[in-house]
Amino acid sequence: MTSSSPQTPRRFGTVAIVGRPNVGKSTLLNALVGAKVSITSHKAQTTRHRILGVRTQGQAQFAFVDTPGFQTKHLHALNRAMNRTVTGTLSEVDLVLWVLEAGKLMPQDRTVLEVLPDDRPVIVVVNKLDRVTPRETLLPWLAELGQLRKFAEIVPMSAQKAADALRLLGIMEPYLHEGDWAYEEDALTDRSERFLAAEILREKLFRLTGDELPYTSTVVIEQFAQEGDLRRISAAIIVDRDGHKAMVIGAGGERLKRISTEARQDMQALFSGPVFLEVWVKTRSGWADDQAAVRAFGYED
């Protein structure tokens, strides 16, 4: 008669994903969760909120926080709120993932390094490995990176590859604490459908305006009602100037129509049901430097 081995204990932990703007933090979060819970864009400073994504893998449950990219210039009220989000998050989590772009260590990266906690394990995620050829050229850079401070791990990878995300989950698991999970096994995020609708629309706004539109533009959901399977959503795109309003609307309203259509399609896929979406464009000058407006539009301050 053989005795069965004791069951592996459950583990749970909160994990912050930090780094300078545009290093792939949101892409990494979506890869680790296995679903799109954070918007991505080539435009820097796309993420403005802490986004909680949840992944349960085997006996381990990870609660990920995707922070805004740490801001080192243009410190108006919006950016100050975003930076407080980053530093506040780092004081609350069990593990930190510091995301770098493979082969690059920029002044902004060193600014983030300065705020990394000394009392939390920090894993360096060297992202966009697939862009480095030949790979051997990265070795001296990795050696230099390891001299900056004592890191728990340094993990070269590509967030675009599902196998790399699974490998990273396995590396992180021992750093979680033993204990009960905080979320249901099939949970993906703690964010409301209203919040996710705003994020989807903001992603389409940035993707379809490119560098024309300042990143201070934002989205506010003015109405979110559910009628059976149908979600009826009214949203406002807030811009700083009337000239920006014209950029968003486009000739004959074509750009706004495309933004709205692509956002509605993504919302229907995410919510698994029909969506009626109305989108308006409104001007509110100087909102990003108005602390009351920053709070009213849902940003931590």
72-126: pLDDT as tens digits:
444 445 455 555 556 667 777 899 999 999 999 999 999 889 888 888 999 999 9
Distance CA 168, CA 126 (A): 11
Query: 173 forms bridges with which residues in the sheet?
Result: none
What integer pLDDT is reported at residue 212 of this predicted model? 66
Confidence band for 206, pLDDT divided at 50, 70 and 90: confident
What integer pLDDT is reported at residue 214 of this predicted model? 56
45 pLDDT higher than 80: no
What integer pLDDT is reported at residue 44 of this predicted model? 44
Give the contacts of 175 (CB within 8 A, at least 6 positions apart).
Answer: 13, 94, 95, 121, 123, 152
Distance CA 18, CA 4 (A): 41
Percent above pLDDT 70 for the chain: 79
Q: Which CATH class is domain 193-296?
A: alpha beta
Q: How many CA atoms lie within 13 A of 20 on its CB side?
A: 17
Distance CA 39, CA 199 (A): 6
Confidence band for 34, pLDDT divided at 50, 70 and 90: confident
Place of tokens 């922070």: 67
What integer pLDDT is reported at residue 158 of this predicted model? 96
CA angle 85/152/87 to nearest 5° reads 10
Q: Which CATH class is domain 11-178?
A: alpha beta
Place of tokens 């390891």: 146
What integer pLDDT is reported at residue 272 of this predicted model? 87
What integer pLDDT is reported at residue 201 of this predicted model? 92
Across the chain, where does the E strand assignment appear? 11-18, 51-57, 60-66, 95-101, 122-127, 153-156, 177-178, 218-227, 230-239, 275-283
Name the nearest CA neighbour of 108 among 41, 214, 19, 28: 19
Place of tokens 């009960």: 180
226-260: pLDDT as tens digits:
999 999 999 999 888 888 888 899 999 999 999 99
More confident residue, 87 or 157: 157
Write down the mean pLDDT value for the chain. 83
Tell whether pTM > 0.95: no
219, 202 Cβ separation under 8 angstroms: yes
**Residue boundaries of the structural domains of the chain:** 11-178, 193-296
DSSP 50: -
What integer pLDDT is reported at residue 283 of this predicted model? 87
Distance CA 93, CA 83 (A): 16
Tokens representing 157 are 């990878």
How confident is the model over 127-142, as a mean pLDDT?
92
Distance CA 173, CA 191 (A): 24
47, 25 Cβ separation under 8 angstroms: yes
279 pLDDT higher than 80: yes
What integer pLDDT is reported at residue 125 of this predicted model? 98
9 pLDDT higher than 70: yes
More confident residue, 162 or 50: 162
How confident is the model over 127-140, as a mean pLDDT?
92
What integer pLDDT is reported at residue 215 of this predicted model? 59
What integer pLDDT is reported at residue 172 of this predicted model? 97
Confidence band for 286, pLDDT divided at 50, 70 and 90: low
What integer pLDDT is reported at residue 88 of this predicted model? 65
What integer pLDDT is reported at residue 284 of this predicted model? 83
Tokens representing 182 are 């905080």
DSSP 299: -
Q: Which is it for strands 230-239 and 60-66: parallel, antiparallel or unpaired? A: unpaired
Helix (H, G, I), strand (E, B) or coil at 31: helix
Exposed (0-12), middle (13-18) or buried (19+): which is 20, by Cβ within 10 Å?
A: buried
Distance CA 240, CA 214 (A): 8
Distance CA 67, CA 21 (A): 10
Instruction: Please list, residue by residue across 56-85, b when 16 or more beta carbons sit within 10 angstroms of its beta carbon and e when fewer do.
Output: beeebbbbbbbbbbbbeeeebbbbbbbbeb
